[in-house]
Structure 1
Amino acid sequence: MVAPSLPGVSYVMPVYNEAAYIDDAIASVLAQDYGGDQELVLALGPSTDGTSERVERLAAVDGRIRIVHNPEMAIPIGLNRAILAARHEVIVRVDAHTELAPDYTAAAVATLARTGAASLGGLMVASGRSRFQSAVARAYNSRLGLGGGAYHGSAVEGPAESAYLGIMRRSSLIAVGLYDEGLRRGEDWELNFRLRSAGSVVWLDPTLRVTYWPRDRWSKLARQFVATGIWRGELVRRHGGRHPLRYFAPPALVVSSGASLIVLLLQATGVLVGPTSLILGLVHLAPVAYLLLLAGLLLAPSSGRTIADRATFALVIATMHVTWGAGFLRGVVLGARDAVDRSRIES
């Protein structure tokens, strides 16, 4: 009896200004231990750091690499162009900041067939090179950093809210209209929301692990999280309360901290006195508790080996929460408008 052939796989990767990571990302795709046909479709933005030239040289010598152009530099637009150009039914999204384990594709295709899922994801395993990037990686891998999303550390296989990156069926994506090209962040969650709403299964397989290299500078991290928060706020405007409560914690922190500062100024100037001051002073509890939490991170071994590592981790956590929360409030109140993530555009 002849074993059935493995389905072909098309990897789709949006790329813009990733000279420090693109070679390793592409190499991890081309090194996949998988017996079916494979191709890599790169949605290439007009990079200014030599990324485009690197990609074009690699495509010239390896027929598995194909390029579609993404002059808009918008991730959903680039992904849609790559998916429409793809030759195979199984779509594997890969980012230029990621690296796949050699057995990633084989395991993913097997799980896709076993579960009948339309979209499947594994775990994001963040890693760092410098002290700062390593602190950001610890924050990504921590429930405290990103609020405990399943793909940041869950060990339980089963139906999921969304899928990190995603191993997907091309026909299912086309049936729901592909990625929403009006979004600039949060496109994965929104796509999986529509797939689930259409009755399809979204699945988490924690045996699938992807190495992710986060932003390596404070300014880049802050810009990334402001933009991400803005677009999450936009998604809340569109879909109402159909979001996990964890998304509302950072904006609640920002609001309570702002209110605390105002009350503190009124108390210091004598405007608030007596019972009114005591009652309104309760607003100080949330930011004080948060500061104590950050102070506790300086003592926690999981925050880093040295006091400098732990202090960096605490400041990274605070940066993530405050910038994301502030962005979220702007997105809810004003909408995302033309907000973009400039963390790859500016140094």
Structure 2
Amino acid sequence: MKSNGKKNSFDPKEILVAIPTLNEEKYIRKTILSLIGSNLNNLETKIVVADGGSSDRTCEIVIELAKTFPNIQLIQNRQRLQSAAINLVVNEAAEEHHEFLVRVDAHSIYPEDYIFKVVQSMITNNVEAVATVMDSVGINCFQRGAAWAMDTPLGTGGSSHRGGKRSHFVDHGHHAGFRLEIWRKVGGYNTKFVANEDAELDYRIRMAGGKIWLDATIRIDYVMRGSILKLSRQYFRYGWGRAQTTILHKKAPKFRQFFPPLFFVTNIIAILFGFIYSFLFFIPLSYVFLLFSTSLFLMLKNKSICGICAGPALSAMHLSWSFGFISYMVHMWFNRNED
């Protein structure tokens, strides 16, 4: 489909902002306040938080903010998933005058006028969706080490929406904004996905003739997960979701996505047969040395002991993503005869 290239401006009331949350009391206030900023026009834009059943103070904080900012609304997302949360916001909160959807993640800090910049980029570049660049940051020592690791080739694998510097058309990027017309046409997020719902949706948008623009001038600070366990869980879901997309659309993953599970299996085989052919131990030992060298380099570069966390963080990302990817493939193999 083609966007209406004649429109070169927008009304703040035409924008709907969706924020999925689940136990985000540490970040939600800062996230919402960073969106509103000092621009009074932001108060004309409806901001809807869809909470998946938080057991902390997330909902309490949102209700408190809504007393000061009446454009903030809280709804309950009983399916808990982020994908379901965004769909719910569109289905329940979108009004006839809404033309644009901006997705916001509670784990991020947004620059001044982020909402308007995303929509303006959609209009200026005549596209159906806009992706932004994530700059990884950390608060505690582990998060800082993990964030520094993300900025290395071992962390991003060349992904342009992770610290990229160039604006261009992409197949996939970190979701920022959509025209509601294309959103409704393709049906929004697939709620069967626990992760990677963004890449799967991008595929359907492109198949429907839509264009996706990565705007490197719009950047957000993404706060890394606070522990190696939380990071591992996150990347297991990413790997599982990527495998789902691969199976659903019969679309082979890119080499940078296929390499981790391949390397994972290679290391397992090398360790098992290394007791017979000792030279095979060179493969996993080389990987450990690479992780250690990366930690040491980042520790010296940033003049912080936190750099030592980079290696464990990278290992958690690589192994968990690979295990998630392989687990879904195995799951589908054993269930291949089921409808």
Structure-2-length-normalised TM-score: 0.88
Contact kept, 8 Å, 1:298 with 1:307, in 2: the verdict is: no
1:108 positional shift: 2.0
Contact kept, 8 Å, 1:34 with 1:105, in 2: the verdict is: no
Deviates more, 1:285-294 or 1:55-64: 285-294
Closer/same/farther in 2, CA of residues 60 and 144 from structure 1, 3 Å limit: same
Aligned with residue 163 of structure 1, among 173, 178, 188 = 173
Gaps of 5+ in 2: 1-7, 335-339
Deviates more, 1:301-310 or 1:181-190: 301-310
Aligned with residue 254 of structure 2, among 244, 264, 274 = 244
Task: Find the residue that maps to 2:46 and give its secondary structure.
Answer: strand
Q: Which amino acid aligns with 1:232?
A: R
1:202 equivalent in alignment to 2:212? yes
Aligned partner of 1:342 in structure 2 is none
Aligned partner of 2:337 in structure 1 is none
1:6 positional shift: 3.1
Q: Distance in 2 between matches of 1:239 and 1:288?
A: 37
Q: Distance in 2 between matches of 1:265 and 1:126?
A: 40
Aligned partner of 1:183 in structure 2 is 193
Aligned partner of 1:70 in structure 2 is 77
Closer/same/farther in 2, CA of residues 70 and 303 from structure 1, 3 Å limit: farther
Identical aligned residues as a percent:
27
Closer/same/farther in 2, CA of residues 105 and 61 from structure 1, 3 Å limit: closer
Query: 4+ residue stretches of structure 1 with deviation over 6 A?
Result: none
Q: Distance in 1 between matches of 2:238 and 2:224?
A: 14
Aligned partner of 2:94 in structure 1 is 86
Aligned partner of 1:59 in structure 2 is 66
Q: Distance in 2 between matches of 1:336 and 1:311?
A: 39
1:212 positional shift: 1.0
Q: Which has the larger radius of gyration?
A: 1
1:9 equivalent in alignment to 2:6? no
1:297 positional shift: 1.3
Alignment of 1:214-253 (within 5 A): 214-253=224-263
Aligned partner of 1:213 in structure 2 is 223
1:35 positional shift: 4.2
Task: Find the residue that maps to 1:165 and give its secondary structure.
Answer: strand
Task: Find the residue that maps to 1:166 and give its secondary structure.
Answer: strand
1:185 positional shift: 0.2
Q: Distance in 1 between matches of 2:143 and 2:290?
A: 21
Aligned with residue 297 of structure 2, among 288, 297, 300 = 300
Deviates more, 1:104-113 or 1:160-169: 104-113
Contact kept, 8 Å, 1:32 with 1:105, in 2: the verdict is: no
Closer/same/farther in 2, CA of residues 35 and 56 from structure 1, 3 Å limit: closer
Q: Distance in 2 between matches of 1:248 and 1:300?
A: 27
Gaps of 5+ in 1: 269-280, 338-347
Deviation readout 1:161-198 (Å, 9 max, x if unpaired) = 11312211011100001110111100111111100011
Q: Which amino acid aligns with 2:314?
A: I
1:324 equivalent in alignment to 2:324? no
Task: Find the residue that maps to 2:174 and give its secondary structure.
Answer: coil
Aligned partner of 1:49 in structure 2 is 56
Closer/same/farther in 2, CA of residues 115 and 230 from structure 1, 3 Å limit: same
Alignment of 1:35-46 (within 5 A): 35=41, 37-46=44-53
Contact kept, 8 Å, 1:74 with 1:184, in 2: the verdict is: yes
Aligned partner of 1:18 in structure 2 is 24
Closer/same/farther in 2, CA of residues 4 and 47 from structure 1, 3 Å limit: closer
Aligned partner of 1:265 in structure 2 is 275
Aligned partner of 2:309 in structure 1 is 312
Task: Find the residue that maps to 1:151 and give its secondary structure.
Answer: coil
Aligned partner of 1:274 in structure 2 is none
* Count of matched residue positions in the alignment of Structure 1 and Structure 2: 322
Q: Which amino acid aligns with 1:254?
A: F
Closer/same/farther in 2, CA of residues 91 and 225 from structure 1, 3 Å limit: same
Q: Distance in 2 between matches of 1:303 and 1:101?
A: 30
1:296 positional shift: 2.1
Aligned partner of 1:276 in structure 2 is none
Structure-1-length-normalised TM-score: 0.86
1:302 positional shift: 6.9
Q: Which amino acid aligns with 1:321?
A: H
Q: Which amino acid aligns with 2:11?
A: L
Closer/same/farther in 2, CA of residues 316 and 301 from structure 1, 3 Å limit: closer
Q: Distance in 2 between matches of 1:230 and 1:33?
A: 40
Aligned partner of 2:123 in structure 1 is 113
1:226 positional shift: 1.4
Q: Which amino acid aligns with 1:309?
A: C
